[in-house]
Amino acid sequence: MNFSALSIRNPVPAILLFVLLTAGGLIAFNRLAIQNFPDMDLPTVQVSAVLEGAAPAQLETEVARKIEDRLASLDRLEHMTTTITDGTVALNVSFELGKDSAEALNEVRNAVDSAAGDLPVGMLTPSVTRKTVQGSALVTYAMRSSSLDETELSWIVDNDVTKALLAVPGVGGVNRIGGVDREVHVDLDPRLMRSIGLSAASVSTQLKSMQTDASGGRADIGGGKQTIRVLGAASSIEDLKTLAIPLPNGVKVRLDEIGTVADSIADRSSIAFLDGKFVIAVEVLRANGFSDTGVAAAVDTAIKRFAATNPEMEIVKATTTIGPIVENYTGSMHMLYEGAILAVVVVWLFLRDWRATLLAAVALPLSVIPTFLVMSLSGFSLNTVTLLSLTLVVGILVDDAIVEIENIARHLRMAKHPTKAALEAANEIGLAVIATTLTLVAVFLPTAFMAGIPGLIFRQFGVTASVAVLASLVVARLLTPMMAAHLMRARAVEEKDGRIMRTYMVFVQTCLRHRKLTFFGVCLFLGLSLLTIPLLKTGFLPASDESQTKVTLTLQPGSTIAQTEATTRRAMGIIGRLPEVTSVFSAIGSASSGDLIDSATIVDTATASLVIDLKKIGDRSRGQAEIEDNIRQALAVLPGVRIEVGNGGNGTTLQITLAGDNPDLLEQAAAALEEQMRTLQGIGAVISSASLQSPEIQIVPDPDRAASLGVTTEAISEAVRVATSGDYSSSLAKLDLSQRQLPIRVRLDPESRKTLADIAGLRVAGARGSVDLGSVASIRVGGSPTQISRLDRSRNVTLSVELNGRILGDVYGEVQALPAARSLPKGVSLVEAGELERSSELFESFGTAMAVGVFCIYAVLVLLFRDFLQPLTILMALPLSLGGALLPLVLTGTSFSMPVVIGLLMLMGVVTKNSILLVEYAIVARRSGLSRFDALVDACHKRVRPIVMTTVAMGCGMLPVALSLSGGDSSFQQPMAIVVIGGLMTSTVLSLVVIPVIFTVVDDFQRLLKRSAKTSSVEQSPA
């Protein structure tokens, strides 16, 4: 059925169709979420187990290994990553993509529950959760007040601010940084406790049993039913002071007689600063599936509303990740507009007809806008990937319309009536237009089914590009001929070839007559193209310039938060003096790391994280990598501090992971490799995850002495724990207030537990009364790892290399060449993880996508041309584009990364368009009676104009992306555009002269096969 003819004769259905699609697309566009990268629903489950005060080495044996063993047998398990710190075990359980997330969560929960009986008695029930929020904060607000003290401000943040923010749709979590937690302290007098034979543990236990309101059953009094409650809890600090504590001899003492009872604060675990001023910060995490900009705007509105009702608080935005996202979105939209305008200008320059130019201008928005409708229905968002796909297909979208318009214009120059010209031209070019579009879809759509993390990112790219291209086909077949029939005018013009056309025709005829020489030239070009492959640099994602960077400071284990604060203040002063820095936000007591896929936050008073906002890209002369190197050098004056500069991941950090079951051999191998890696040229810091030894006080019971006095290890542990830091948080007594409960922490007076002698003097419960700890145990100072990392049930050490602007693949190659990497000890292996693993996935998926794409193109062409050999002529355009695509990467030092892969896949579909136009016309011309030579020459003469027009239009459409004319960070978009433009130009020039020659070779081969088949059939026929 000829849809173009139907549309020309009855334009109403086509008009109504596009009115509906345009209206739906505009509505969907306003509803699309704006994000940085697509949300990824990874089948990843997080397990957290807490045993307060337990050392990492103890937790590894008693908790981590037992949970890992139960998880190891789960179906489609990919990796288990375990991080063990003081008192906490955090497991990240990742499954193969395609595993149902809910099913994965249930399987992990069941496995952890089955291990519960083997876990330590005092451990809380491990939590099993699925990640539903983004790993990094969307926006962070800083709050201060001149009229409220820190305790009051902290409570307002915890209660009121958090409540207001969690009510905003799309907010997945709210965390407070800095501030304090209110707590009741009962600091016991050790001398008095020793004299009356009472331990801190017994006081804590009795306080918990008395400081409670409990159910007492039911009563039937006065003919009615009543509930009975036992109200034993003190309701104020004063009541708590008078609480009676029984002694072993039967005498009672008031709580305030054996210690000090005070309304106090918990030990400070974090501090926040904004530009050197003390603040309490609140970071907001976005839930998956929501718009970054939409949630940020709603949160900003909620904060302004809260600030208006609480004038005593000063609230400012400390840091945000929205700036680069908005900048990228705005820049992409500008590039989309600029590309569209340039493509339309190209049409006018070639045709010099405002009516024809109008048709091309209409085709662009009518192809793009319906795509938004499909994106919305598919749950996609406006992100770097989808916007880039639309930006790069701008030139392609106008291609079909250009081919139709140019062909109609050629018929109009024959003085035909516009309606007749539109009918004949649309019918003549229809197969070529359909073929070119379907080959593009055949390339784009398979990318949606690529495996691994790259597949999740490519899915939105492939579907978006395919829908846009199909929409352009519908426009070209329904709308463009119909509008041309009513708008364009016939004009008889005698066509004369210009100098360029005449030169081209002579060159084509020469190539057709000297096929061997042409083939030699093509082979030489292909050989030179292949020589560029070893020169390519590889990576997963190119390093980005987000106008924001991060510095992580790590002090010696055991450092107090006051020492970390002093070092952080000094670092803030150094960084703040750099001219490109606009603000510095510091979070002491926590450090975050990772990239857009893997991220983690470590809580430790010896660490600090500084988020540094830089001037916009257009307002500074230096790039982010250069500024980060400057920061790294400036902070080198800080003594005894491990410094990491950069956001981590995304082309800025290389992670080398060593794994093994022998901790000593593993650390030796890691130390040797780390030392040699520091000799590499042009890199930043080399950071090892091999944990430093954290100082600890070790108590070793004397078995004989302890047994004779009836003292158990458990009693010693409890006595020491309660006396020094209080009971487990879940076991603490609570003081009930009107809106909250305050923990009551019972322990010895801090001044009386500062020496080993004080520890030795602690009273421990025995069979015949309490005894001094020193009489049943030896006490010494030792050390243990501050953190243990495990990967797939083996210990691992990760060496992180700050690339400092270098390419990931280059540095990794140099690391592999180091003697320490080539001669790892037996039992220690190098494991690809993080970006290395995803980079390998990318190249494997790329190879598969290329093969599937080529096959799909071939299959589509076979179906359309009903021939198995001539489609090979069209496919020969693919290698012709290789040199033009790869050479610019080598010349510019651009890495072969994800955007380049996307560009090459797009190039596969684009370069076949030109060959299809030539081959399709040549086949039609031969069927009309022309010789092969004349048909090819005529095809080149008739098709060179639309081919050049579409190539220039596509190149100009992508030019704003390649030149990054709209500002903002172009690190992801630019490599893709460079590859497409370079390959497109080279392929077009070569295709116009080489494809006709290849056509003749394939045709000769086809004739040979037919002749052989005919001869064989004659020989087999009976005489």
746 lies in a domain? yes
Is 310 inside any structural domain?
no
Same domain for 879 and 1005, yes or no, is yes
| Beta bridge pairs of residue 537 | 895
Question: Are residue 901 and residue 951 in the same domain, yes or no?
Answer: yes
Domain boundary among 467, 495, 523: 495
Residue 477 DSSP label: I
- 111 and 208 co-located in one domain: no
Strand pairing category for 741-748 and 182-188? parallel
| pLDDT for res 648 | 64
Tokens of 822: 């080539």
Q: Which helix (H) or strand (E) holds 164?
A: helix 162-166
Where residue 762 sits, what CATH number does that domain have?
3.30.2090.10
Contact 654, 677 (CB under 8 A): no
Pull the structure tokens for residue 323: 């700036």
Domain CATH number, residue 115: 3.30.70.1430
What is the distance between the alpha carbons of residues 344 and 398, in angstroms, rounded to a whole number? Answer: 8
Looking at the domain assignment, is residue 745 inside a domain?
yes
**Amino acid of residue 979:** V
Residues 596, 972, 620: CA angle, nearest 5 degrees: 95
Beta bridge partners of 894: none
Residue 335, in any domain of the structure: no
98 and 20 share a domain?
A: no
User: Is residue 482 domain-shared with residue 531, that is, in the same domain?
Assistant: no
pLDDT of amino acid 596? 46
Nearest Cα residue to 831 out of 687, 676, 667, 656? 656
Contacts of 327 (CB under 8 A, 6+ apart): 547, 616, 967, 968, 969
For residue 159, being part of any structural domain is answered with no
Q: What is the residue type of 296? A: A
Which residue in the block uniquely carries the two structure tokens 């458990």?
Answer: 714
Identify the pLDDT of residue 372: 93
Task: Quote the CA–CA distance of 698 and 677 in Å, as a whole number.
Answer: 36
Long-range contacts of 938-943 (CB under 8 A, 24+ apart): 939/996, 940/504, 940/505, 940/508, 940/992, 940/996, 941/497, 941/501, 941/505, 942/410, 943/917, 943/918
What single letter denotes the amino acid at residue 824? L
What range defines the domain where residue 971 resides? Answer: 496-535+867-1011
Can you read off the two tokens belonging to residue 584?
Answer: 């510095």
Please answer whether residues 94 and 10 qualify as being in contact, where contact means their C-beta atoms are separated by less than 8 angstroms: no
Give the pLDDT of residue 169: 92
Using CA atoms, how far apart are residues 156 and 154, in angstroms rounded to an integer? Answer: 5
DSSP sequence for 832-871: --THHHHHHHHHHHHHHHHHHHHHHHHHHHHHHHT-SSHH
Question: What whole-number distance in Å separates Cα of residue 295 and Cα of residue 279?
Answer: 24
Cα–Cα distance measured from residue 495 to residue 944, given in angstroms and rounded to the nearest whole number: 14
Extended beta strands in 776-932, E state: 777-785, 788-791, 794-802, 828-831, 895-896
Same domain assignment for residues 379 and 427 = yes
Do 19 and 93 lie in a common domain? no
Residue 293 inside a domain? The answer is no
> Buried b / exposed e across 747-774, counting CB within 10 Å, b at 16+?
bbbeebbeeeebbebbbbbbeeebbebb
CA 74 to chain centroid, in Å, comes to: 26
The domain boundary, picked from 131, 148, 179, lies at 131
Q: How open is the CA angle 920-390-171, to the nearest 5 degrees?
A: 150
Q: How far apart are alpha carbons 239 and 241 in whole angstroms?
A: 5
Give whole-number Cα distances, 496 to 459, 940, 962, in Å.
48, 15, 36
Whether the model clears a pTM of 0.75, i.e. scores above it, the answer is yes
Same-domain pairing of 78 and 15: no
Query: Same domain for 524 and 466?
Result: no
Alpha carbon distance 872, 866 (integer Å): 13
Answer yes or no: are the C-beta atoms of 587 and 272 closer than 8 Å. Answer: yes
pLDDT in tens, 324-333: 788 778 877 8
pLDDT at residue 968, as a whole number: 64
Largest CA distance in the chain: 130
- Which residue, 52, 48, 185, 50, is CA-closest to 718? 52
Note whether residue 136 is domain-resident.
Answer: no
Last residue of a domain, one of 464, 495, 526: 495
Q: In this structure, are residues 604 and 56 in contact, taking their beta carbons and an 8 Å threshold? A: no
Same domain for 94 and 61, yes or no, is: yes
Q: What is the CATH number of the domain that holds 386?
A: 1.20.1640.10
Task: Using 50 as the pLDDT threshold, list the residues of the chain that sit under it.
Answer: 593-597, 1023
| Spatial separation of the C-alpha atoms in residues 914 and 436, rounded to whole Å | 8
**DSSP sequence for 197-244:** T--HHHHHHHHHHHS-EEEEEEEEETTEEEEEEEE-S--SHHHHHT-E
Bridge partners, 746 (sequence order): 186
- Tell me the DSSP string of 730-771: GG-EEEE-SS-EEEEEEEE-GGGSSSHHHHHT-EEEETTEEE
Report the pLDDT value the prediction gives residue 494, as an integer from 0 to 100: 58
Burial (0-12, 13-18, 19+ Cβ within 10 Å), 527: exposed
* 372 plus 472 within the same structural domain: yes
Q: What is the CA radius of gyration of the chain?
A: 36
212 and 122 both lie in a single domain: no
Q: How many domains does the chain have?
A: 4
In a domain, residue 313? The reply is: no
